[in-house]
Amino acid sequence: MEKDVISSIIREGQDFIPEVELYERPVEYEAKGNYVFVGVRQCGKSYMLYQRIQQLLREGHGIKEVVYVNFDDERLKMMKAEELDLILQAYAAMHEGRPLLFFDEIQNVDGWEHFARRLANQKYQVFITGSNAKMLGRDIATTLGGRYWTRSIYPFTFKEFLGCMGIVPDRQWTYSARTRAAVERAFAEYFHFGGFPDVRTVVAKRIWLNELYNKIFFSDLVVRNKVRNENALRLTIRRLAECVRQPTAYNRISNLVRCTGVTCHPNTVMDFVGFLHDACLVFSLKNYVSKFSDRETIKKHYFVDNGLLYIFLNNDETALLENICAIHLHQQYDEQQLFYYNKNVEVDFYLPEEHTAIQVCYSLADTHTAEREVGALLKLHAFEPLQRAVIITRDEEKIIQTGNGLQVEVKPVWKWLIE
């Protein structure tokens, strides 16, 4: 690796990053903190680095302090861990002082974590992006030794999606027919094609999402994890998509895959789901009232973006609705706060610390459907007293007063997402 190549890369970053136009996302930082941004491919991790650079420039730092290196650059494909110090050497030959370091997809260099630890020990300020599998592995976390803050980055929330379109609802927005119509039109797109920043700008959205999925499948799943049985992995992902609303055991997924003639053991399915978590493609919820063994083997699995789920489904609007609600809650609560409830009664989402239960139902227009959804919340209220009960629908809004004093809020999903 030649130092001149790295010098050229540093200069290029200093030239283009201040001019990047971006939608600023709400992320708070500790002063002088070092950060690792993790998330699914194409969710906007690189733009978080650009955003942080522009923030630091506004705070008074100079562009010559900035070192941005993208390790997806073909000029760095053969770079080795022992050559990473060339970055500091190249900068020292260009400028005086200590640089602010921004490393994009640094996990492409095996052994990068030792370099990152040394930088933190030497009090450099460092910002890193990469995949969950490489950035948060047990061995790497031990090596970094708590020297970095971790921030999970997701595709745009609906509120961010609206902001990118120039739609900023104020407190009275529901009373404006024009704003409400714009929000509902935007939601129809977000509901089916998700919140990846780049998908918003392309015409052939489904093709773009399929190409993204294929990149994730081969690069982040098959190659990274050295998967030999690609067919079993592909079928496992499809079965998870088809079962997205149901608590699903690993052996059930295994049986569904084997029905197609492909060999797949439950332990293999468990490994596959772990790979999907590592690639930030799916996340899972546990049953609040399950025994320990069932909690770990029977879960509800959701996709991190509706667009990635949509490519597997054939007009299953109810699955998309529950998935988008799960995403919204997952971004706010960790796995020790957010559950589903399934014992004598099934409720889609349960927040025990907040005594809140949330049901998802596309429409309550049918009387029997409404009685079933409200009845489930009332049964749960009898076991676990609730302070708040909510039913998320596609478009309906009202308050239901029950006989035992529990008030049920019925909210349209597009409104709930931006409250």
Q: What is the pLDDT of residues 236-257, one digit of tens each?
A: 999 999 999 999 999 899 988 8
The residue ranges of DSSP E strands in 203-345, in sequence order, are 248-249, 282-286, 298-303, 339-342
The helix (H) or strand (E) run that includes residue 346 is strand 346-351
Q: What is the pLDDT of residue 143?
A: 66
- Mean predicted confidence (pLDDT) in 174-199: 87
Alpha-carbon radius of gyration of the chain: 23
- Mean predicted confidence (pLDDT) in 21-25: 88
CB 245 within 8 A of CB 154: no
Residues of each domain in the chain carrying CATH 3.40.50.300: 3-152
pLDDT band for position 263 (50/70/90)?
A: confident
- Mean predicted confidence (pLDDT) in 35-61: 92
pLDDT tens column, 268-305: 999 999 999 988 999 999 999 988 878 888 999 999 99
Q: What is the pLDDT of residue 4?
A: 86
pLDDT band for position 30 (50/70/90)?
A: confident
Q: CA angle, 206 as apex, 227 and 332 as ends, to 5°?
A: 75
pLDDT tens column, 82-133: 999 999 999 999 998 899 999 998 888 888 888 988 998 999 999 998 765 5
Task: Quote the CATH superfamily of domain 3-152.
Answer: P-loop containing nucleotide triphosphate hydrolases (3.40.50.300)
**Other C-beta atoms within 10 Å of 228: how many?**
8
Residue 55 has pLDDT above 80, yes or no: yes
| Rounded Cα distance, 192 and 195, in Å | 9
| Rounded Cα distance, 122 and 126, in Å | 11
User: What percent of the chain is modeled with pLDDT above 70?
Assistant: 95
Q: What is the pLDDT of residue 272?
A: 94
- Mean predicted confidence (pLDDT) in 21-33: 86
Expressed in percent and rounded to 5, the helix, strand and coil fractions of the chain are 50, 15, 35
Q: What is the pLDDT of residue 1?
A: 62
